[in-house]
Amino acid sequence: MARLLPAGAALELSGAIAITGLRSFLGTRLAERLLQRTPGLRVVGLDVRRPYRLEGRVRFHRVDLTDPKADARVAEILERERVEVLVHAAFRRDPSPDLEYDHELETLGSLHVLHACAAVKVRRLVLASSTALYGPWPDNPNFLTEKHPLRGHPGAHNVRNRIETESLVAEWRERHAETDVCVLRTCWVMGPSYWDRVTAHFARPAVTTLLGYDPLLQFVHEEDALHALERATLERHPGVFNVVGSGVLPLSTLLRLAGKRALPMPAPLWYRALRWPVMGATGDPPEAFYDYLRYLWVADGERGWAAFGEPVYSTKEAWISFASARRLRRYR
């Protein structure tokens, strides 16, 4: 379902829109939407590899943000393309065991992008962030507002990196009042085509959960996440916003809705058993993922909904859209 943007949203832009991490899900989809729905817009993409599907429509530049000289290179590109809006989405989708590289990309890469933005004085900077940064903690209030400190998870290195990025961006914003900075914290994305390790976990017919825990979960549909990102790109929305679906559902209900089986595991034993395999695959102990299925980390979406419009899909609808798409895929 494609929602229309408010009239005249993009008219005030004369320069180009740059997207770092063009090959990521958000990067590719955002570029497609912008090109499709706002004719005459110039979109510049930065990534280490060429994206799919955008052949010839996006001005692509191959940039490695982990390169120590990346800031000068990005600044040069932004200058040459007359970029007005930069969307920073160059983050790992899933944690990798290469902790060094992840840190170089997510934190130092962001720093390079910030330096470049300062050099060319972009008008608007949009940062794709996540509500996972609040972290699952037993003492979280039921609804985390944007003011809540980002506590993350001690084991999750990507979350750590991105918290560092957010604090860099917050500091940068203090020093560069001429740039509007918009930080979008999206919760777990669900939808027919989005894919990461969270959806991989939930795509199995039997889903491991933790014995004795049944937290309330919250999802946002990929369309709503993209819609918010698109509006933040085209309109002026300075500030930090949670981008979440409406409503919450307990994990057990979600699984029942999708006709899946829960495999409850006792947390201490399960963590010990999974420690080495999961460390090998993601670089983090299993807590880094499973604690998100253990404690509450639901974010309050009021501010985001007021800025970008009510989400079309509730948590339940996003989940059903994901589950039914996966089920259809099995029969193809």
Q: Using CB under 8 A as the criterion, which residues of the chain lie in contact with other proteins when the complex forms?
A: 138-139, 141-143, 145, 209-216, 247-253, 256, 261-264, 267, 295-296
CB 14 within 8 A of CB 41: no
Would you say 75 or 254 has its CB closer to other proteins? 254
Assigned token pair, 87: 């969307």
Would you say 52 or 331 has its CB closer to other proteins? 331
Q: What is the smallest separation between the CB atom of 169 and other proteins, expressed in angstroms?
A: 25
Would you say 35 or 262 has its CB closer to other proteins? 262
Would you say 66 or 321 has its CB closer to other proteins? 321
Assigned token pair, 165: 């990025």
Q: What is the smallest separation between the CB atom of 301 and other proteins, expressed in angstroms?
A: 11
Q: What is the smallest separation between the CB atom of 285 and other proteins, expressed in angstroms?
A: 19
Distance of CA 132 to the CA centre of its chain: 9
Alpha helices for the chain (secondary structure H) = 25-37, 70-80, 99-103, 109-120, 157-175, 197-203, 222-234, 251-257, 267-282, 287-290, 302-308, 315-331
DSSP states of 68-131: TTHHHHHHHHHHHTTEEEEEE----SS--S-HHHHHIIIIIHHHHHHHHHHHHT-SEEEEEEEG
Would you say 15 or 264 has its CB closer to other proteins? 264
Would you say 70 or 144 has its CB closer to other proteins? 144
Neighbours of 173 (CB within 10 A): 19
Q: What is the smallest separation between the CB atom of 251 and other proteins, expressed in angstroms?
A: 7
Would you say 49 or 147 has its CB closer to other proteins? 147
Q: What is the smallest separation between the CB atom of 307 and other proteins, expressed in angstroms?
A: 20
Q: What is the smallest separation between the CB atom of 319 and other proteins, expressed in angstroms?
A: 13
Give me the half-sphere count of Cα atoms (radius 13 Å) on the Cβ side of residue 113: 33
CA–CA separation, 241 vs 185, rounded Å?
6
Would you say 75 or 207 has its CB closer to other proteins? 207
For residue 61, what are the β-bridge partners? Answer: 46
Q: What is the smallest separation between the CB atom of 56 and other proteins, expressed in angstroms?
A: 44
Place of tokens 């989809």: 29
Q: What is the smallest separation between the CB atom of 108 and other proteins, expressed in angstroms?
A: 35
Q: What does the buried/exposed string (b/e) look like for 11-26 if buried means 16 or more CB atoms within 10 Å of the residue's CB?
A: eebebbbbbbbbbbbb
CA–CA separation, 259 vs 220, rounded Å?
20
> What is residue 209's DSSP assignment?
E
